[in-house]
Chain A
Amino acid sequence: GAVVSQHPSWVICKSGTSVKIECRSLDFQATTMFWYRQFPKQSLMLMATSNEGSKATYEQGVEKDKFLINHASLTLSTLTVTSAHPEDSSFYICSARAGVPYNEQFFGPGTRLTVL
């Protein structure tokens, strides 16, 4: 089956620094990638949708200047948390979809971000 990887799997950073999380589709080309955020004991919340070569579409309430998303190639999307603060600590999960019409989304293993 299709595999999506995320790197790093966990990261600890100081408040005010920026952190980049990579999401890669390993064996297929992902025309669309999605970024989710998950708080402890809660469901996944869609943050943004990114299509290769175009700007990401952010969900309401998600700060696009704080959560920078780049989908530069068909196999790589990055999420950069800029000037991270402790409230940004969360579990971030990406997913990738290949093509249209509907194709299943494949989820990455997630990245645990802790901001001190």
Chain B
Amino acid sequence: AQSVTQPDIHITVSEGASLELRCNYSYGATPYLFWYVQSPGQGLQLLLKYFSGDTLVQGIKGFEAEFKRSQSSFNLRKPSVHWSDAAEYFCAVVDTGNQFYFGTGTSLTVIP
């Protein structure tokens, strides 16, 4: 069965520091992978997505993610975090039936 694991429930970083949020998936075929960000009380905003091709994907707000098939991972990175990046981040995989499977989310706190 498809599943997504985000091992880090909560991460705290200082403003200006680099960030990496981990995501591991379980899926038999080539996955479609997504990262979403959710601010408190808001819906989901798509940061980036991977369907095929280049395994390093660039997204909005300076985020990028790298698909590593051998590690079944799709980690999200940002070289320099801004205070406005504080939010909840969700990784998701889509199966051939086009159903989304979300991870449990990682809450990011940014220290000034």
Task: Tell me the A residues contacting B by CB distance below 8 Å.
Answer: 6, 32, 34, 41-44, 46, 49, 91, 93, 95, 97, 100, 102-105, 107-110, 112
Contact = CB atoms under 8 A, between A and B. Distances in A.
B28 interface: no
Name which of B42, B44, B96, B104 has the most chain A CB atoms within 10 A of its CB: B44
Given A43-B103, A44-B90, A108 B98 contact: no
18 contacts: A32-B98, A34-B100, A41-B105, A42-B105, A43-B102, A44-B90, A44-B102, A49-B99, A93-B44, A95-B100, A97-B98, A102-B32, A104-B46, A105-B98, A108-B43, A110-B41, A110-B43, A112-B41
Classify chain B's interface size: 10 to 19
Interface of B: 32, 36, 41-44, 46, 49, 90, 94, 96, 98-100, 102-105, 107
Given A32-B98, A42-B104, 15 more contacts: A42-B105, A43-B90, A43-B103, A44-B90, A44-B100, A91-B41, A102-B32, A102-B98, A105-B94, A105-B98, A107-B36, A108-B43, A109-B43, A110-B41, A110-B43
B1 to A, nearest CB: 13
Contacts, number: 46
Top 9 closest pairs, chain A to chain B, by CB: A109-B43, A107-B44, A110-B43, A43-B102, A43-B104, A44-B102, A107-B43, A43-B105, A102-B98
